Amino acid sequence: MSDTIEILAPAGSPQALTAAIRSGADAVYLGAGSFNARRNAHNFDAAALREAAAFCRSRGVRLYLTLNTLIRQNEMLKAIELAEQACLLGIDALIIQDTGLARRIHAAAPDMPLHASTQLSCHTPEGVRELAEMGFKRVVLAREMKREEIAECAGLGLELEVFVHGALCMSVSGQCYLSAMLGGRSGNRGLCAQPCRLPFSAKSHPDTRDKALSLRDLSLYDYVKEMLSIGVHSLKIEGRMKRPEYVAGASACFAAARDAALGKRSTGAAPELLSDLRSAFSRSGFTDGYYTGVRGSSMFGSRTYEDVAAATPALGRLVKLYDRERPALPVKMTFTMRAGQPATLTAQDENGNSITVDGDIPETAVNRPLDNQRAVAQISKTGGTPFIAETECYISEGLNLPLSAINALRREALDKLLLKRSTPVPIKFNLDKHPLSPNSESLPFIKKNEKDFIIARFSDYKQIPDNDDSDMIFVPSDTPLDILKQLADNRLVGIEIPRGLFSGQRQTEKQLKNAAAAGIKTVLCGNIGVIPLVRQAGLYPVAGFGMNITNSDALDAMAERGVAAAVLSFELTLGQMRFAKEASVPCGIIAYGHLPLMLLRNCPVGSNHGCTSCGGSGGLTDRRGKRFPVVCKSGCAELLNSTPLWLADELNELPELDFLLLHFTDESPSRAADIISAYRSGGEPPGEFTRGLYKRGVE
């Protein structure tokens, strides 16, 4: 069991920052500029960031800067410059999604702690180990994990940070493309428009009350002591878009629960405070479904009129949590008064910072001389400051000093001590220090810059046409061994590991052994935790679209981990992927398919209507009548786009890629054969189709 646990609060504005610190948060996280996952929050410009860093440091609160978005090739230098600014300010850690950015920062500033964002979708022990080897100090685990899965990730080289309160995305973070595809606003770029909160239904004709993709907010208040025993280091509160009152209430409640778990207080938060926190913001109450493993319809909920009405009185009460400084910093005050010498007051904090200020020369007392009791009482009045004083006085007899002079000494000493505490300790940053070029091994059968190499990915081996004309195929990792051997006899075959592993790591290891036994050498990986398993099996890892590669540095980071080829993010435009020409490994794109828009651990069809209701062909219908297929696999589900991506008629417009991936989901063998043929010869699109984001891009 850890002897402490951090309360980490969101700071979407200076007001929320103050609310968090005064309500018991040990650390805060905030964004600056455009490279953070909440670009619509207030965020902090250069001057405000400097003030925030000083404010946090002076009060003993850690500050983490979010750089947790995907970085395009032309943005890398600006993102690195923001990291350099953070180093100059002595910020305590950077929260990173983009592996290329993490690689560059780690080379330039190896002493800057890096935290792996939940956007990296880490949810397995091997994923934790892999991120540790990449230079991260902490990982923000996926919110969909059960308590047992979290426990398995403890003690593996990284601090564990777990979301304990706030909004739950329907999709695994980093694996949602719904907002990008429907409205051009990418959640991976910090501009999610939350289309999942709009009406979606498992019925064929939904009404506006159907919210099949809207989960209740998370609250794990009752499990703080358990997480302490598991080995969790940080309890994270979601909400950089929420009001300061919400931040204050959540910080106070979880700080109280933590202190009670550590035996520092007899009980947790008062029932009235817990009630106010629920009223401040919830969607018809809270859920603990992922943590406890009790998933289903009870996890779903939406914001109601009653929820909104309950908020106003609660917010008024929560303001009182942060309307004044919270005395939390121990300071030793030493007051000395001798005849003929200026009175002095020394203030020293627990970090060794010390300030001594001089006052007036004391006078001989006419009536009542100043004694220790009166002096201690006056000097210990630290109200309105963040300090708690322990005071010692050394006073010669028969002397006096006006109380106003003592008050002035106290104020001056504490003001100067706060200023000294706020002085940054810069972290060394060398902008010219670049990582070494990766010594990578590429897939030997893919030649650079020959985009006519076609890879067909099938959801089921039964979809494979008898006259398959692709250059390589990927089939599911659970394909039977005899089928794998049969397929591998006369073609290039790889297996695909699902993006959502969770408790399936041991099963994946068995499937990799089967693949190796069948003579298969290549594995399509959609998660960072799969790569080390593939390496250990002696096979070639190929980074799938779920790895969200958007720049050459991210490709190099993957190549260092043994990745032999990569599928680029489909949130890039064709022009933004020109870096692939000189890439360290072969690169391709998804060129056909119903693009996966969400990775789900709580199937919206099965949870609301039962797993047998869809017969394996379920779907959701939006308010416009568009149907989005839902397919289940290995304990997770995927929400697919309603219309297929088609590029076969525009092959000449593609950049210099090394392969095209055709992503087959429910196509028949004959339909798959026709599509492969079209991508050989440049066929026209059949019926309704989309160009995806390759032309219109995302914000």
Domains of the chain: 6-170+220-321 (3.20.20.70), 329-422 (no CATH), 454-595+641-681 (3.20.20.70)
Report the pLDDT value the prediction gives residue 686, as an integer from 0 to 100. Answer: 84
Report the pLDDT value the prediction gives residue 4, as an integer from 0 to 100. Answer: 81
Is residue 683 within a helix (H) or strand (E), and if so which, with residue range?
none
Q: Which residues of 176-208 are buried (b: 16+ CB within 10 A; e: fewer)?
A: bbbbbbbeebbbbbbbbbbbbbbbbbbeeebee
Q: What percent of the chain has pLDDT over 70?
A: 96
Q: Taking Cα atoms as reference points, which of 601, 509, 684 lies closest to residue 145?
A: 601
| 614-657 residue pLDDT tens | 666 789 999 888 999 999 988 899 999 999 999 999 999 999 99
As given in the structure block, the two tokens for residue 554 are: 């991210």
CA distance 133 to 578: 29
CA distance 221 to 164: 7
**Strand duo 454-457 + 472-476: pairing:** parallel
Sheet containing 344-349, strands listed edge to edge, beginning at the edge strand earlier in sequence: 354-358, 344-349, 329-337, 387-395
Q: What is the CA radius of gyration of the chain?
A: 29
Q: Cβ-count burial of 72 within 10 angstroms (0-12 exposed, 13-18 middle, 19+ buried)?
A: buried
Residue numbers in the chain where pLDDT is lower than 50 = 1
**Strand duo 27-31 + 6-10: pairing:** parallel
Residue 310: CA atoms inside 13 Å, Cβ hemisphere, count? 17
CA distance 377 to 392: 11
**Strand duo 27-31 + 587-593: pairing:** unpaired
Report the pLDDT value the prediction gives residue 203, as an integer from 0 to 100. Answer: 73
DSSP, collapsed to helix, strand or coil, labels residue 237 as strand
Number of residues in the chain: 699
Report the pLDDT value the prediction gives residue 286, as an integer from 0 to 100. Answer: 95
CA distance 162 to 254: 13
DSSP, collapsed to helix, strand or coil, labels residue 622 as strand
- DSSP track, 529-575: THHHHHHHTT-EEEE-GGG---SHHHHHHHHHTT--EEEPPTTS-TG
Q: What residues contact 436, with CB distance under 8 A and at least 6 apart?
A: none
CA distance 699 to 694: 13
Rounded-to-10 torsion of CA 140, 145, 151, 152? -90
Instruction: Phi first, then psi: give them for residue 364, nearest 5 degrees.
Output: -70, 130
3-class secondary structure for 391-416?
A: EEEEECCCEECCHHHHHHHHHHHHHH
Question: Which 8-state DSSP code applies to residue 626?
Answer: -
Instruction: Phi first, then psi: give them for residue 534, nearest 5 degrees.
Output: -70, -40
Report the pLDDT value the prediction gives residue 3, as an integer from 0 to 100. Answer: 64
- DSSP track, 168-179: --SSPTT---HH
| 310-339 residue pLDDT tens | 899 999 999 999 999 999 999 999 999 999
Report the pLDDT value the prediction gives residue 254, as an integer from 0 to 100. Answer: 98
Q: Taking Cα atoms as reference points, which of 25, 23, 33 lies closest to residue 6?
A: 25
Other CB atoms within 10 A of residue 542 CB: 30
Do residues 395 and 335 make contact, with C-beta atoms less than 8 angstroms apart?
yes
CA distance 274 to 268: 10
